Amino acid sequence: PTETVYGLGANAFDSKAVASIFEAKKRPKFDPLIVHISNYQMLGMVAKGIPKEIEKLIQFFWPGPLTVVLPKKEEVPALTTAGLPTVAVRMPQHPVALRLISLSDTPIAAPSANPFGKLSPTRAEQVYKGLKDKIELILDGGPTPIGIESTIIKEEGGEIYLLRPGGIAVEDIEKVLGKKLKQREIPKIEAPGSFPSHYSPTTPLYILKGKEIPKGFSRKKIGILAFSSKPDYIKCDAFRILSPSGDLKEAAKNFFNFLYELDCLGLDAIFAEKVPQKGLGLAIMDRLKKASQNE
């Protein structure tokens, strides 16, 4: 368990161990991993040349759901970073993750602990369901408190780029930085989780445009992933409300878990309401767009 989602870990310096992550997840080898550390000495083992502004951000947000992409040390195997000259690093804020890393006495490479393309797990049972035949052990640390993956950033030419919205709001990073983050289209090889279909439930998922279910679904069993209130505008077979008070942090925490729950009900389709595109809402909408059939 990390504070964001469950990870599937291997010694970041051991190519054979790292290879088994790709194998268990059926993850394409060109998708690099995040390396998790428990202290600053480990940062020096995997990365070099840390820009001043990145230094400031990690001082402020670590341990926590902020991943920074940095020039890598030669010792980090190519498999861990998918051949890139950079390495993604973060210090998680979960007592079990931190203890595991420090007892292992090595940085741990870990993607989310789900089969490639599926929903990220926020509970040990979900890891078990997805990977039970492939892994030897699950550390059960209960539900993960943030519920959505880390925010990934990178410095380039004096600008800080947002590579993936996540558990730390862009606005909070900009406050500490004193300037705006840059957004850009990321080249595929570098694109964090930016494959056309990603984070997907097995049940077809659609983003609701307005408050109407498209024609053709009237006789189907449907579920609604609502934002803050009961979806009384529509007859549905099941619904979940991400946050009755409209709190985006609470919504992020519930997001993957509620999708999992709806996915287990044998529905014909899941419709998700849009959430406000601010704070952690940015990360939720990013995951929704990647998981849905209609965006």
Residue 33 contact, options ligand TXA, Mg ion, none, Cβ 5-8 Å cut-off depending on partner type: ligand TXA
Residue 243 contact, options ligand TXA, Mg ion, none, Cβ 5-8 Å cut-off depending on partner type: none
Q: Which of residues 152-211 bind Mg ion (CB under 5 A)?
A: none
Residue 91 contact, options ligand TXA, Mg ion, none, Cβ 5-8 Å cut-off depending on partner type: none
Residue 7 contact, options ligand TXA, Mg ion, none, Cβ 5-8 Å cut-off depending on partner type: ligand TXA
Q: Determine the straight-line distance between the first and last CA of the chain, rounded to whole angstroms.
A: 30
Residue 117 contact, options ligand TXA, Mg ion, none, Cβ 5-8 Å cut-off depending on partner type: none
Strands 86-90 and 66-71 come out as: antiparallel
Q: Is the dihedral of CA 288, 191, 95, 121 positive or negative?
A: positive
Contact set with ligand TXA (CB under 6 A): 2, 4-5, 7, 31-34, 65, 67, 69, 81, 84, 86-88, 110-112, 149-150, 152, 163, 190-193
Q: How far is the CB of 183 from ligand TXA (least distance, A)?
A: 14
Task: List the structure tokens of 221.
Answer: 């069993």
Q: How far is the CB of 293 from ligand TXA (least distance, A)?
A: 21
Interface with Mg ion, residue 254, by CB under 5 A: no
Q: How far is the CB of 48 from Mg ion (least distance, A)?
A: 26
CB atoms within 10 A of CB 290: 17
Residue 63 contact, options ligand TXA, Mg ion, none, Cβ 5-8 Å cut-off depending on partner type: none
Interface with Mg ion, residue 2, by CB under 5 A: no
For the chain, the C-alpha Rg in angstroms (whole number) is: 19
- State how far the Cα of 291 lies from the Cα of 273, in Å rounded to an integer: 13
Residue 224 contact, options ligand TXA, Mg ion, none, Cβ 5-8 Å cut-off depending on partner type: none
Tell me how far CA of residue 291 lies from CA of 9, 45, 179, 202, 272, in angstroms: 24, 35, 31, 10, 10
Q: In sequence order, what are the beta bridge partners of 203?
A: none
Which of residues 116 and 161 has its CB atom nearest to Mg ion in the complex?
116
Which of residues 196 and 216 has its CB atom nearest to ligand TXA in the complex?
196
Q: How far is the CB of 226 from ligand TXA (least distance, A)?
A: 25
Which of residues 32 and 231 has its CB atom nearest to Mg ion in the complex?
32
Task: List the structure tokens of 103.
Answer: 């007892």
Q: How far is the CB of 5 from Mg ion (least distance, A)?
A: 7
Residue type at 139 in one-letter notation: L
Each as own residue / partner, the long-range contacts of residues 128-131 (CB below 8 Å, 24 or more positions apart, any chain) are: 131/8, 131/24, 131/25
Nearest residue (beta carbon) to Mg ion: 112
Q: In sequence order, what are the beta bridge partners of 151?
A: 66
Question: Residue written as tokens 């390495």?
Answer: 87
| Beta strands across the sheet bearing 205-207 | 205-207, 269-272, 222-226, 238-241
Of the candidate residues 81, 112, 122, 203, the single one contacting Mg ion (CB under 5 A): 112
Give CA angle at 31 (255, 38), nearest 5°.
Answer: 70
Q: How far is the CB of 179 from ligand TXA (least distance, A)?
A: 21
- Where do contacts with Mg ion occur on this chain (CB under 5 A)? 112
